[in-house]
Amino acid sequence: MAKEDLLGASLWDAYSNKVTTLMNNPQHQGEISEVEAASHGNKLIVADFGAESCGDAVRLYWEIDPKSDIIVNSKFKSFGCGTAIASSDVMTELCIGKTVQEAVKITNIDVEFALRDTPDIPAVPPQKMHCSVMAYDVIKKAAGLYLGIDANSFEEDIIVCECARVSLGTLQEVIKLNNLKTVEQITDYTKAGGFCKSCIKPGGHEAREYYLVDILANVRREMDEEKMKAAADAGSTGSFENMTLVQKIKAVDAIVDENVRQFLIMDGGNMEVIDIKVGDEYIDVYIRYLGACNGCSSSSTGTLYAIEATLKEKLSSKIRVLPI
């Protein structure tokens, strides 16, 4: 029976030709013995790693020239699915010729990318990305054994999405800088959550310490607290005029979020603060209308007056709102 009949054509098509070729005909499968490595004057490193989520395991052999730290030969054995075999084979190929210090920089993304037929089409379906992660982890294990250090020391950041190797710090920074509000936006910006999806929320194939839904909620709460603090600070007489430009924009955003924005969104619109310029007589707040508000007749009359009146009351009587 054809594989298309067993798996379905769409599932079969989710794997690259390189993956299907290597899972049946790996180029570096095998082992290296102590005797073989010693006969070349080299050191043998054997590292094992297993993925608890799927039961797959891989054993990596490195034959290393101790004078240069170069991996002159490498083999692997894999106990698992065909994708694990293909990922391990490519991982082994990528190690050969590199120093140990260079090899440890190989990521699961490098492994998956090397398995692609074309640069813009993933080599495996999302649920199989963990196989390339396993390859990445066994490299760290081997490097740690050779260098005599803990494999975890190679990881400087807390990794939230193992598939895309996206750290907690990166996620927090991207959410703040781009004012992200949904997990889908996080995935668009960082690729986190775009593969096996276990890092999105509890209940995936592998339990995680951090989930995107919680990270997003925590960062959004911090951002809201910062805005409210800015608004509260601005409530003191004369304090708005003395703020920096960034502080002024945050204070205006906070007031708009609390008093205006929800009404704009209800009508299918929104607004954003573009710039604030301080003159002798006025503090000009330049805004841009978004969605349904852009071009609406009320945007230059009633809506504009309501925004300006609110900002004058809450922040400074010198404020003048100018749409652009």
- What does residue 4 show for φ and ψ, rounded to 5 degrees? -65, -35
54, 161, 163, 199: which one is catalytic?
54
Active site residue 54: yes
Tokens of 244: 């920096």
* Integer Cα distance of 19 and 123 in angstroms: 7
**Is residue 118 exposed (0-12), middle (13-18) or buried (19+ Cβ within 10 Å)?**
exposed
Active-site residue among 131, 161, 199, 293?
Answer: 131
| Known catalytic residue at 296 | no
**Residue 194, CA distances (Å) to 68, 98, 110, 120 in order:** 39, 30, 16, 14
Which class for 319: exposed (0-12), middle (13-18), buried (19 or more C-beta within 10 A)? buried
Give the span between the Cα atoms of 171 and 159, in whole angstroms: 10
Residue type, position 32, single letter? I
Residues with active-site annotation: 54, 131
